[in-house]
Copies of this chain bind each other. A is one copy, B any other.
């Protein structure tokens, strides 16, 4: 299998955590996509994923899977023993509910703030993700407020249960974890009183599959192009 992605970016980091959790990292050939250069917005990449987003999983039969939830369903079910997407109807439902909520309210909102209210990925990407427009900055700022509300919501959830979807670690934890890392990078701080979310984040960061996975950091050339 091949995965088209870029180390250190939010959705690739979600799938790298899934791979580590499932012990599948060795079975993947990673193909780099130049995100800062907007390679994923050009025709060859769009032929693989018309939404112009990474990561994309290419199966050995040539099937192309995009969307992180879909890639996760594939990887988690491959050995017949799903541990991140639920086994029973109730588990599947609660995990997908929290996964959608994490994407819609947290990661999507951070993404909106990053691309609309900050320089985002820079000049090559700006025309694709956030065209000049009178309401641009205000839209981005509203996404920032939405992301902070989501952090408060997940803090409330984690006051009552150890993981985002209940008693077991799931793909929804990975999505919230990646969302908080993205928020750090975008300059959105977790509210100081979100103590349950902060404690959960420390616990998750110490899980072996999170601590030891590859592709957590931006490549040196990306750091340079971001001016970091």
Chain A interface residues (CB < 8 Å from chain B): 50-51, 57, 59, 63, 65-67, 69-71, 73-75, 77-78, 86, 88-90, 92-97, 100-101, 104-105, 133-136, 138-139, 153
Q: What are 14 pairs between A and B in contact, CB < 8 Å?
A: A50-B153, A65-B97, A67-B96, A70-B94, A70-B95, A71-B93, A73-B96, A74-B92, A77-B88, A77-B92, A133-B138, A133-B139, A134-B135, A135-B138
Among the listed B59, B69, B134, which residue makes an inter-chain contact with A96, where contact means beta carbons less than 8 Å apart?
B69
Determine chain A's interface SS by DSSP, over half rule. Answer: helix
Q: How far is the CB of A198 from chain B (nearest CB, A)?
A: 20
Task: Give the shortest distance, in Å, between A45 (CB) and chain B (any CB).
Answer: 15
Instruction: Give A91 to B53 CA distance when docked, in angstroms.
Output: 21
Which residues from B are CB-within-8-Å of A65? 93-94, 97
Which chain B positions have C-beta within 8 A of A134?
Answer: 134-135, 138
Which 3 pairs from chain A and chain B are nearest by CB? A135-B135, A74-B93, A70-B97
Closest to A139 in B: B135
A66 cross-chain contacts in B, Cβ below 8 A: 97
For the complex, give the distance between the alpha carbons of A163 and B185 in Å. 40
